[in-house]
């Protein structure tokens, strides 16, 4: 796979998973509103995917190391992957209550980030023994997002007495 596509897809997947999961957890905990969470997910899938794609576009251009075509490949791959992965979080919220959908969404995000981490480690020639440390590093960052989003949701719910 071309480097430009790898860049866009990996960035889009991570951003799509973590941004959407953070929003889902924070809004879910603070509001208990499916409508608010669904609206947030749709906003991330469209506006934030476009914003991230624009950011990747400018980053790739400013590096001076990419052709015009490579810049656009990374831009397009970022948008599509963020859009698609963000939308996958609509499924749990559509079928389950807020608490269950948060648990299912965390498990789904954990799975996606773990698979991407293994692929990145393999792509970089990391041996199988060291692969676990790469995955652990990435999952520690994943859990920082999950825990901080949960705590912010609790603080907002408590401070504003939402519910």
User: What was the pLDDT predicted at 64?
Assistant: 87
Q: What is the pTM of this model?
A: 0.91
Give the CA diameter of the chain: 52
Phi-psi region at 18: left, alpha or beta (left = phi > 0; alpha = psi -120 to 50): alpha
Q: Which distant-in-sequence residues (6+ apart) come within 8 Å of 47 by Cβ?
A: none
The boundaries of the domain holding residue 7 are: 3-160
Residue 163: is its pLDDT beyond 80? no
Long-range contacts, stretch 51-57, CB < 8 angstroms, 24+ apart: 52/11, 52/12, 52/15, 52/78, 52/79, 52/82, 53/8, 53/12, 53/78, 53/79, 53/82, 56/7, 56/8, 56/11
Q: What is the dihedral of CA 109, 114, 116, 118, to 10 degrees?
A: 180
CA distances to 55, 58, 61, 65 from 48, in Å: 10, 15, 20, 25
Average pLDDT score over the chain: 94
| Confidence bin at 63 (pLDDT 50/70/90) | confident
Q: How many domains does the chain have?
A: 1
Contact 29, 153 (CB under 8 A): yes
Own/partner pairs, 140-143, CB within 8 angstroms, 24+ separation: 142/18, 142/109, 142/110, 142/113
Query: Is the predicted pLDDT of residue 85 greater than 60, yes or no?
Result: yes
In this prediction, residues 104-108 reach a mean pLDDT of 97
């Amino acid at each position: 796979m071309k480097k430009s596509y790898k860049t866009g897809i990996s960035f889009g997947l991570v951003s799509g998973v973590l941004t959407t999961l953070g929003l889902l957890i924070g809004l879910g905990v603070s509001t208990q509103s499916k409508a608010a969470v669904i609206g947030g997910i749709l906003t991330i899938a469209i506006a934030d995917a476009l914003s991230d794609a624009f950011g990747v576009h400018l980053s790739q251009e400013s590096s001076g190391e990419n052709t015009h075509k490579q810049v656009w490949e990374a831009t397009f791959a970022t948008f599509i992957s963020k859009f698609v992965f963000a939308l996958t979080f609509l499924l749990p919220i559509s079928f389950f209550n807020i608490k269950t959908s948060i648990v299912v969404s965390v498990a789904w995000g954990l799975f996606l980030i773990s698979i991407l981490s293994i692929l990145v480690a393999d792509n970089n020639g990391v041996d199988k023994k060291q692969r676990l440390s790469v995955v652990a590093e990435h999952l520690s960052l994943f859990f920082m997002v999950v825990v901080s989003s949960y705590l912010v949701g609790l603080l907002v719910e408590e401070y504003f007495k939402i519910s």
